[in-house]
């Protein structure tokens, strides 16, 4: 079953990549909840990338982003990411459009990319074993991504409440 999901993600990246520990909660030992309903609006509260044994914050200490997931029958997925490496600042931001698949219970099955500015990404489908979304509790969604051998990306999304934002004041 394909479910409608609109993902709008705009990370305002810090130019300095810092080595950092993961957040206090131990998400590595989490178990799927009985109901993995991922429908809702989420704000990005934390993201890290581990490669070659080093953990960095690719979107800085205060990442900005929204994830919109609906249960409508068709969906759109849009992702925009600003490069953090100054040498890549002249390249266009990475953007993709695609879909997520969920089963009848709302459990996440995978993500497909229909169109992307990222080379060779068009038509790529990532099953849950490569890119997984796990509902930890009512207010927390964990995203695990394994794009290549030895590379692990973790993003923690927090349920958004209308009238609030997780963005720091400027």
List, as one string, the DSSP characters of the chain.
-EE-EEEEEEE---SS--B-PPPSS-GGG----S-----EEEEEEEEEEEETTEEE-TT-SS---EEEE--SSS-EEEEEE--SSGGGTTSPPEEEEEEEEE-TT--EEEEEEEEESSTT-TT-EEETTTEEEEEEETTEEEEEEEEETTEEEEEEEEE--TT---PPP-
Query: Does 166 score more than 70 pLDDT?
Result: no
| pTM for the full predicted model | 0.60
Tens-digit pLDDT profile for residues 34-77 = 445 677 788 889 999 999 899 999 888 888 887 777 666 554 55
For residue 90, pLDDT over 90 is answered with: no
């Amino acid at each position: 079953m394909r479910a409608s999901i609109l993902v709008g993600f705009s990370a305002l990246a810090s130019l300095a990549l810092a080595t950092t520990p993961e957040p206090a909660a131990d998400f590595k030992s989490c178990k799927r909840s009985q109901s993995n309903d991922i429908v809702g609006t989420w704000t990005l509260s934390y993201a890290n990338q581990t490669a070659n044994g080093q953990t960095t914050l690719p979107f800085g200490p205060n990442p900005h982003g929204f994830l919109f997931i609906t249960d409508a029958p068709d969906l759109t997925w849009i992702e925009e990411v600003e490069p953090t490496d100054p040498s890549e600042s002249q390249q266009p931001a990475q953007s993709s459009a695609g879909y997520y698949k969920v089963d009848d219970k709302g459990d996440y099955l995978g993500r497909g990319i229909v169109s992307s500015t990222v080379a060779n990404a068009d038509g790529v489908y990532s099953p849950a074993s490569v890119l997984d979304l796990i509902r930890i509790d009512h207010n927390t969604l964990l995203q695990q991504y394994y794009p290549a051998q030895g590379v692990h990306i973790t993003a923690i999304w927090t349920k958004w409440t209308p009238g609030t934002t997780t963005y720091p004041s400027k």
